Chains A and B, each alone.
Chain A
Amino acid sequence: MKQNIKYLCAGLILSAAAVDMYGQIGAPFIHDPSTIVECDGKYYTFGTGGGGLISEDGWHWSGGAVRPGGGAAPDAMKIGDRYLVAYSATGGGLGGGHAGRILTMWNKTLDPNSPDFKYTDPVVVASSVEDEDCDAIDVGLMLDPTTGRLWCTYGTYYGFIRQVELDPATGFRVEGNEAIDVAVDCEASVMMYRNGWYYLLGTHGTCCDGANSTYTIYVGRSRSVNGPFIDNVGRTMIEGGGRKVLSTEGRRVGPGHFGRYIIEEGVEKMSCHFEADLDQGGRSVLAIRPLLWKNDWPEAGDPFEDGVYEIETARNGYALEMTVDFVRTGGGMGGMGGGRNGGASAPASVPNQQLSEVIDSWPKGDCQARNGYYVARPWQRWTVQAVPDAGGYLGGPYYKILIAGTERALAATADAEVQVVSAFTGADEQLWRIDQLTDGSFRIMPKKVPGHSEPLALVSMGDCTPTLAGFNFSSDNSKWYFRHFEPLK
């Protein structure tokens, strides 16, 4: 799927209300965002200089998060029923000294309007003096799910990235813990764990230079929480190594400050900022991308691209289609028997079957949906397009899924089945959430199923039978692919 290409013409042809699916909407302006944390149904991220962003749905962001202390590049996580927020303070400026401090503090809630909102006094957990090979800023936190131990990495281009252990009960440095060097020549470090591997993320390249920033997110991994963290070609991160996670994509320049968010098994997101979003005045913006895992390496997925697609079930490769009569197309069999039957009389090319050739044969009302062999026919080609003002979810807007060239819309029914209704109305059951899964396939979920409160996803119950059911990452019945991308015209 060619999701990396934003066609220049698309922006000119689409309506003014088209959704920019590449960035978060609202006022997502932030630098050095902390890992996104959910608190009482809202999402929070904090940035450099104090404050941060809040979102009720994970798609529309605005200012309002509160973090005292100023300083740089915070991180945050929930431990038990409290929130640990870490940030850093430094001085000296460009080319000067690099005395820095990492501080932690707690809050019972991240909602500044809650009566429980009150930060504890910050505590210094690590520091650097002005001329040692470390600059104690850019803190990252990881709670090891295998041991319950809390780790903190910090540092920037001035020397080493260092790792210390904190007490998850207090947020203090573990007594007697000695900092160790885990990487060099990067910043915005943070660790994560998955499948027996510990990962150290870091951002390389030029920071803070707008559209000229070369920020790029890299990763190394280790079987030990303390490293050494090694890249895909065998270099340690002490040697400057790293495997790319996300680099500049089109008009969004300079991603940095990785954060991982696990929604459920198989559904993960990564947050970061782009140093400059050229479609948003070149400002630094929050970005959320699917987090994919390939051979135990994390990679950023692409933002979903509006376009025309085949929607293919991972179950057996059948394509989602509207249930209508199969209409044969031109181009008789050729090539059989050594080409004798396809010889000189065969046309140079055979045109695709056009919508106009078949649409009059279709029922005027609603149709069932089913899966079938994909032959690129009009009843199998879907326009998938973000819907403005329909809300969203963590990292994406809701989409309408229409038979290409028509207003016939994929919709959830009250009996938890799927059909193709004759016209898109914008109703919640006609809006779809699309999450790229950690294996690269997709989950497709209606915004709402009439009469149902539990989340349901598009699932292939049989080879030919799509329905709505609980999502199960371990089953290919729950997974779909968007193939044969064509840009919208």
Chain B
Amino acid sequence: MTCKTQLLTFFLASVMLAVVQPGISAQESSSPAFENYFMPATTKTAKPDEKGFIRRWLLLEPISKPNRNNRVFTDSYVRDALTHEYFPGQFTTIPKDGDKVKVKMETQAPVNLQAGRPAANQSQTPVMEDAELTWHALDSKLFNIKLFRFATGLGKTRYGVVFWAVTIVECDRDMENVRLAVGTNKGSMWWVNGEELLLLSGDRHMNVDSAVSKRITLKKGRNIVRAGIINGPSMSDFCARFIDDKGNPITNLTITCK
């Protein structure tokens, strides 16, 4: 989405002058809390929900990558951005809750919720910084993983970001003809057991089963699902589940973060 609110800024002044006779309070709710979306993954294992959505994930705090709009997410851009190694072991390590990684990332000014982000200075040389980011083992309270709220809840960068997510799917037998089905707000790449399965590009929104992988076999034991999600000025989130050959969700899986 190239946000319509960009246009509306132009009209804001006239609106502010409008004579308003409130019928109700203009303040209906406050900013949402982190706890509305996530809770720590404290149990040893979890199951997919009744629709098969995997809610337990290890999420890395967002890597700043200041995409100022959502027009850039071509296939090649997403691939370049999400195959870039931001930290050692990015594509191989199974992190643990609380693990920290060191990342060199581009700084960006914080969002001003009243005025929007400051104008881009294209001629300015990007300023890089060394940052230490933490992995969090979380259970989502929703079927979709609200990465945007993960970021805002931790006081981290909300727009122009790259997220990394890892989870472990345990099977009690080999499961053939399984597909990974995902939806992401903006671009993403997905790997299972190190094999690249999906790349989602474009100015896209989170839709259930927006993209579905080829048929794969989930092996008996542990299977590692890894994803990178990239966004500009939008609300990052994703949903993911495995479906069978008929498109039905698979729920007899065990999900762990250890």
Contacts and interface: CB of A to CB of B under 8 A. Distances in A.
Say whether A and B bind each other. yes
Interface of A: 31-32, 48-50, 68-73, 89-99, 101, 103, 121-133, 135, 137-138, 156-159, 172-173, 179, 184-187, 204-209, 212-214, 235, 239-241
B210 A240 contact: yes
Interface in B93-122: 111-117
B15 interface: yes
A172 B112 contact: no
B15 to A, nearest CB: 4
A50 B233 contact: no
B26 A124 contact: yes
B29 A89 contact: no
A207 B20 contact: no
B217 to A, nearest CB: 26
B5 A90 contact: yes
Contact of B19 (A98, A99, A121, A158): A121
A93 B19 CA distance: 22
B158 to A, nearest CB: 9
Given A135-B5, A185-B185, A72 B206 contact: no
Given A91-B12, A124-B26, A207-B2, A129 B208 contact: no
Contacts of A124: 20-24, 26
Contact of A125 (B2, B15, B24): B24
B208 A241 contact: yes
B130 interface: no
Interface of B: 1-12, 14-16, 18-32, 68-71, 111-117, 143-144, 149, 152, 159, 183, 185, 202-203, 205-210, 232-235, 239
A160 to B, nearest CB: 10
A103 B20 contact: yes
B205 to A, nearest CB: 4
Contacts of B18: 68-70, 89, 103, 122
B178 to A, nearest CB: 19
SS class, residues of chain B in contact with chain A: loop
- Ranked nearest first, the 3 interchain pairs of A and B with the lowest CB-CB distance are A96-B116, A93-B116, A97-B113
Contacts of A129: 27-31
A31 B4 CA distance: 11
Contacts of B25: 127
Contacts of B239: 239
B244 to A, nearest CB: 15
A50 B8 CA distance: 11
A91 B31 contact: no
Given A126-B28, A240-B208, A91 B23 contact: no
Given A94-B233, A103-B20, A185-B205, A208 B9 contact: no
A200 to B, nearest CB: 15
A71 B10 CA distance: 9
A50 B14 contact: yes
A157 B208 CA distance: 16
A131 B9 CA distance: 17
Contacts of B71: 206, 209, 212
Contact of B4 (A70, A91, A137): A137
Nearest to B146: A133
Contacts of B6: 93-94, 208
A185 B8 contact: no
Contacts of A49: 7, 10-11
Contact of A127 (B15, B28, B117): B28
B47 to A, nearest CB: 19
Contacts of B2: 94, 206-209, 213
Contacts of A70: 11-12, 14-15, 18
Nearest to B160: A95
Contacts of A208: 2-4, 6-7
Contacts of B29: 129, 132
B32 A132 contact: yes
Q: Which of A95, A98, A128, A206 has the most CB of B within 10 A?
A: A95
A123 B8 contact: no
B9 A92 contact: yes
Contact of B114 (A48, A97, A132): A97
Contacts of B12: 70, 89-91
Given A72-B11, A93-B6, A241 B207 contact: yes
B48 to A, nearest CB: 15
B111 A95 contact: yes
Contacts of A206: 1-2, 70-71, 203
Nearest to B14: A70
Nearest to B19: A121
Given A95-B159, A131-B113, A179-B28, A48 B7 contact: yes
Contact of A207 (B4, B31, B68): B4
Contacts of A173: 23-24
B9 A91 contact: yes
18 contacts: A73-B4, A90-B8, A93-B6, A93-B116, A96-B115, A97-B112, A121-B20, A122-B18, A122-B19, A122-B20, A132-B30, A132-B32, A156-B3, A185-B185, A206-B2, A206-B71, A208-B3, A235-B209
A219 to B, nearest CB: 14
Contact of A240 (B4, B14, B202, B207): B207
B5 A239 contact: no
A93 B26 contact: no
Contacts of B116: 92-97
B181 to A, nearest CB: 11
A207 B14 contact: no
B53 to A, nearest CB: 9
Contact of B117 (A68, A95, A205, A213): A95
Contacts of B144: 239
Contacts of A48: 4, 7-8, 11
A126 B31 CA distance: 16
A138 B205 CA distance: 18
B203 to A, nearest CB: 5
A235 B208 CA distance: 7
Given A129-B30, A184-B206, 12 more contacts: A48-B4, A50-B11, A91-B9, A94-B117, A95-B111, A97-B112, A123-B20, A131-B32, A135-B5, A157-B3, A157-B235, A187-B1
Contacts of B26: 101, 124, 127
B203 A96 contact: no
A157 B234 contact: yes
Contact of B5 (A93, A212, A213): A93
Given A95-B111, A97-B113, A125-B23, A214 B203 contact: yes
Nearest to A242: B207
A127 to B, nearest CB: 5
B21 A121 contact: yes
Nearest to B30: A129
